[in-house]
Amino acid sequence: MAGESGNENPSAISRSSSETPIPKIRLSVGKGQSTPNYNAEQKVELTVKIVNEGSCDANNVKISPVIDNASDFPFKIENMNEEKTIEQIKAGESAEATWNFSVRADVETKSYKTPFQITYDDGTNIYETNKYIYVNTTAKKTDDAPKADPTPTPDTTQNVSGDAGQAIYDAGGISNSDPIATGGSDKSQSVPRVIVTGFSTNPENVNAGSDFKLTVHVKNTSKTTAVSNLLFDMQAPSAGTDAAAEAPAFLPSSGSSTIYLESIPAGETRDISIDLNARADLVQKPYSIAMSMKYEDGNAAQYEASSSLAIPVKQAARFEFSDIELSPDSIQVGEEANLTCNIYNTGRIKLYNVKIKFSGDGISGKDVFVGNVDSGATGTIDGMLMGESEVPAGSKCKMTMTYEDESGKSFTAEKEFEMEVTPVMDDDDTTMVGAVEEEEKSTPIIPIVVVVIVAAVVIAVLVVHKKKKKQLALEEEDLADEVDRFTEDE
């Protein structure tokens, strides 16, 4: 519009690798459109044309006006969120986003530079870029409308946009909107602004499924006007997996989500706290909390504003070891045994750079690098252990696993196992064992020897008996001859 639109280079605010990706999408706004001319208090329809001049389709395009100072924005702030969503803008094509606005009564006769924040993704990375258009306005002859307090928002705040359940800003990010007068006295000449300057959680790391205390620091940026009767309401977007995705990411662990604060003097900061519970099935990433605010100034004028917080949620690693198997389970000094075991990643996060070390009296072994183990996957441990000295049966040895999360923080886990290492046998022991074995092997020969001896005795008896019988026969024959000779002599 007006032949000029801000086209800053987009930056990746979420990426899948450690390297900054080069965007293939280039979006421009207002190109080819004439500058609109509006009068004070006029109800208008503002249409912004968005052209994808890149070589890749832009998905989930979200565009919203950036309102750092209400006096620099030519329209009334009537909604808490002016974000518009376009599902996809194909490469080389364009789309339009339309807003129904009312021009402020106190606009000046000039051109207002109106910035817009655009976020989109290419299917892998999410990008954010800021564009601007010009809007010409004509002022009224009189100017009675109150002006916003000129105190700027501190540099620590971040202007972000995103839908429910998709925190695309940095972890711990904050977004503040401008206040809107909603009723009460009309005597106020400035609008006191209450903003979120920061927050903390206890514990510092919020784990899915755990309770935590959220403490928010809110500041009255007005230098002259105190605010009172402050009412804060915190709401988390729906998020999660499967059927549970309709439930909020955070819920009060006890009590209400509404907090009351009596007052904040001009220029001062107060803390408000609430106990929350993070859903157990949340994916590890930042989640937003929308905080609405209602308050009054000293003239009883009523205002509404809103802020957004981005709270990083961590998923604890969950895994199991299978039984450790040793082959063989008993070795001599100087021999090796093979150890095998599996790691089952039962959690929702990936285990990075998994390494295994072995320790224990009388053993040694080289470290085993398993690598990355995805959620739901199995890692295999296969190592060799050397017997260095005698280890009695039942002695405990230790297997230590180290791994990292996606932020590079290191963790350890241990598992014990039993191993026996016996001393080496010398040569004398070997000879003695051999002799015993030989003796044991010769034992079956004894019955054979006994049988042989018995047979020999039997044979000997038979021979002697036969020999005596033959001798007796000879003696009888000699006796007969002797009788015959005696008879003849007579």
Rounded to the nearest angstrom, the gap between the alpha carbon of residue 333 and the centroid of all alpha carbons in its chain is: 44
Predicted structure pTM score: 0.46
Residue 88: per-residue pLDDT: 93
For the segment 29-34, the average pLDDT, to the nearest whole number, is 79
Give 255-267 pLDDT, tens digit per residue: 788 999 999 999 9
The pLDDT value recorded for residue 3 is 41
Matching fold, domains 1-143 and 146-315: yes
Which overall architecture, per CATH, does domain 1-143 show? Sandwich (2.60)
Q: Rounded to an integer, what distance in angstroms lies between the CA atom of residue 206 and that of residue 313?
A: 5
CATH number of 319-422, picked from 3.60.21.10, 2.60.40.10, 3.10.110.10, 2.115.10.20: 2.60.40.10
Q: Is the pLDDT of residue 319 over 90?
A: yes
pLDDT tens, position by position, 363-401: 999 999 999 999 899 999 999 999 999 989 888 999 999
pLDDT 10s digits, 268-279: 999 999 999 998
Binning pLDDT at 50, 70 and 90, where does residue 459 land? Answer: confident
pLDDT exceeds cutoff 90 at 34: no
Domain ranges of the chain: 1-143, 146-315, 319-422
Q: Which residue has the higher pLDDT, 343 or 444?
A: 343
| pLDDT attached to residue 254 | 80
- Using alpha carbons, select from 27, 34, 33 the residue that is nearest to residue 50: 27
Query: Quick one: CATH architecture of 146-315?
Result: Sandwich (2.60)
| Mean pLDDT, the chain, integer | 79
Residues 56 and 50: their CA atoms lie apart, in Å, by 15
Is the per-residue pLDDT at 223 higher than 50? yes
- For residues 130-153, average pLDDT: 64
Mean pLDDT is lowest, of 12-21, 86-95, 149-158, 404-413, for 149-158
Percent of the chain with pLDDT over 90: 36
Contact between 74 and 104 under an 8 Å Cβ cutoff? The reply is yes
Mean pLDDT computed over 420-449? 63
How far apart (Å, rounded) are the C-alpha atoms in residues 385 and 108?
Answer: 83
C-alpha–C-alpha distance, residues 160 and 287, integer Å: 13
pLDDT at 253 over 70: yes
Most confident of 29-33, 295-299, 459-463: 295-299
pLDDT confidence of residue 171: 46
Cα 371 to Cα 369: distance, rounded to the nearest angstrom: 6
